[in-house]
Structure 1
Amino acid sequence: MRRTELKLFLRACRERLTPGDFGFPADNRRRTAGLRRDEVASLANIGLTTYVFLEQGRDINVSAPVLESIASALRLSEEERDYLFLLASDDPKALPAPEYALPVALEVMLADMKTCPAFVLNHHFEIIGVNPAATLVWGCRHNPEALENPLLQMFIDPERKVFYKNWEEIARHEAGYIRGHFAKHMRDAKLAGMIDELLAVSADFSKFWAQNKIFQASGLETSVEINHPTLGLLRGHYVLLSPFGKTNTTICILAPDPDTDTGEKIFEALRASNANM
């Protein structure tokens, strides 16, 4: 699985480059999109056979300096470089134990976020904690008997395309987040099964997955525009954070745009809801 993903990733990165940007002639005689393999090898100052075998997914050992040279030649982002190193590594990682409950301190922090909807995902993208603001905005809840998976719903629930005004942008980022996360846990059968399900039922996910875009959780921000049925238009940014020492847990926060009334809408709606309880 890892070598197959490495093959697809390297090819996608090579084909997106423009030969003229590197001083190579761009003419109609080229039979492939982007750079040729020999051009990448030349830019990386490595042997052609080494690069060809690596892109073919063959089981070869490649040193860190060689991978650095390839990353530089392909003009990879920092996230893409990390992904390349993950895929090229043959060091099997232990599967993380699933998280199904939150530390009390994290529960208190979530509850105290009055204008920022937030939920917590385990490494299977299942909700294991949620604050009242998130329940107000998304309707999501923490049900230990049937854990919700918002990333799965993003692609299989057609109403999400109406709910999110910029659905395509968010969905593309989520597909890239799933890809980057899966590279760390390729031996996890449940994650692999979720991806197989999405590839089978969602043409949109298949399209984004084939683009080989990578997004890591730490610090990721995505613009969000929500057509909420009762609160109207909400604007903000998704911020994904990993608690210190918890690599198998991600906090997902919707930070309201300070130039809009989104935070005020959420706060007032929560206050009205509490008053009616």
Structure 2
Amino acid sequence: MRLPSKETSGSAPPPLDATPARALGDFIRAHRERLSPMAVGLPPGPRRRTPGLRREEVAQLCGVSPTWYTWIEQGRPVSASADALARIAVALQLSRAERAYLFELAAQRDPAEPDPAAQDAPAALLQTVALIDAPAYVLDRQWNALRWNAQAASLFVGWLDGEHDRNLLTYMFTMPQAVQLVVDWETRARRLVAEFRADSIRHLNDAPTRALIDGLTSASDAFARFWASQDVGEREGGERAFNHPVHGRLVFDQITFKPAHREDLKLVILVGQS
């Protein structure tokens, strides 16, 4: 089932990134085109043929050759050091999530980030859900719900109640109940895709992740459009409003926790507003 979207097009969505080098180039180009000269202290100059900064301007800001930078954007298999990537991230004024995504695309470790630890203890996290007196659930790296409590099942009609696909993105983009339940569905759906892009880069080539992305791209015009936008965002909390079919309008504050040493898992809690 395809959910309605505000924008329609007769052309097929662009294919998923074919190679890591091409994905890196597409990501850098998209963010270069969004950055104005004035934002980096450059004069606007004469009329520009393309949006945002020129490649030569970014190369100058990064202290690299224009040819090397052009090859990076074109997806050529050139070597990019962690130091060069860090300078690109600063020049393009990338957010923390966007910077992390850049380094994952390049298969490089950000020198500003500590080494991840390897300890794993998910059982305690799953057991915690039943102890919470509010809608709560745990997501895995593909955003499948691993555990949820009765309050969450009551809230998320069509996802955590009954027999349904437990993937949050599949629910959001293929189930009509989600459009009816989630207030301002378009904004929330776009944000979810940006958050998942940031999450999925560490395991983008894993078969389950690729299958999920490919399936949603085929099943949902909205997902394909949002995924192609190259937006990246951290999973944030804040107000979440729902139009529940039984209880009417419900408003919560969402809090998301990541267990130490297992950032691919998430404990999400919705605290009701008084």
Superposition TM-score, scaled by structure 1 size: 0.80
1:235 equivalent to 2:251? Answer yes
Q: Once the 2 structures are TM-superposed, how far is the Cα of residue 137 of structure 1 from its aligned partner?
A: 0.7
The residue that corresponds to 1:77 in the other structure is 95
The residue that corresponds to 1:3 in the other structure is 21
CA distance in 2, matches of 1:184, 1:89: 9
CA contact 2:153–2:161 (8 Å) conserved in 1: no
CA distance in 1, matches of 2:262, 2:144: 15
Of 206-215 and 223-232, more deviation after overlay is shown by 206-215
* Matched residues, number: 244
Q: Once the 2 structures are TM-superposed, how far is the Cα of residue 46 of structure 1 from its aligned partner?
A: 1.4
Q: Once the 2 structures are TM-superposed, how far is the Cα of residue 146 of structure 1 from its aligned partner?
A: 7.2
Residues 1:183 and 1:108: Cα distance change in structure 2 (over 3 Å)? closer
- Supply the RMSD in Å over aligned alpha carbons: 2.5
SS of aligned partner of 2:43: coil
Letter in 2 for 1:168: E
1:245 equivalent to 2:264? Answer no
The residue that corresponds to 2:154 in the other structure is 136
Q: Once the 2 structures are TM-superposed, how far is the Cα of residue 37 of structure 1 from its aligned partner?
A: 0.6
CA distance in 2, matches of 1:47, 1:10: 16
CA contact 1:170–1:222 (8 Å) conserved in 2: no
CA contact 2:129–2:138 (8 Å) conserved in 1: no
CA distance in 2, matches of 1:240, 1:169: 19
Deviations along 1:172-222, one digit per CA (max 9) or x if unpaired, are 2210122112210022012111111111221211222122121234xx224
SS of aligned partner of 2:79: coil
1:168 equivalent to 2:176? Answer no
Of 247-256 and 166-175, more deviation after overlay is shown by 247-256
Q: Which runs of 5+ in 2 are unaligned?
A: 1-18, 110-119
How do 1:150-169 and structure 2 match up within 5 A?
A: 150-169=168-187
CA contact 1:117–1:137 (8 Å) conserved in 2: yes
Residues 1:142 and 1:167: Cα distance change in structure 2 (over 3 Å)? closer
Residue among 15, 22, 38 paired with 2:33 = 15
Identity rate, percent: 34
Deviations along 1:33-79, one digit per CA (max 9) or x if unpaired, are 11111111111121112211111112122122211111111111111
The residue that corresponds to 1:225 in the other structure is 241
Superposition TM-score, scaled by structure 2 size: 0.80
CA contact 1:102–1:129 (8 Å) conserved in 2: no
Residue among 104, 129, 134 paired with 1:110 = 129
Q: Once the 2 structures are TM-superposed, how far is the Cα of residue 147 of structure 1 from its aligned partner?
A: 5.4
Letter in 2 for 1:23: L
The residue that corresponds to 1:59 in the other structure is 77
Residue among 26, 31, 43 paired with 2:49 = 31
CA contact 1:2–1:183 (8 Å) conserved in 2: no
Q: Which runs of 5+ in 1 are unaligned?
A: 92-98, 261-277
Q: Once the 2 structures are TM-superposed, how far is the Cα of residue 246 of structure 1 from its aligned partner?
A: 2.3
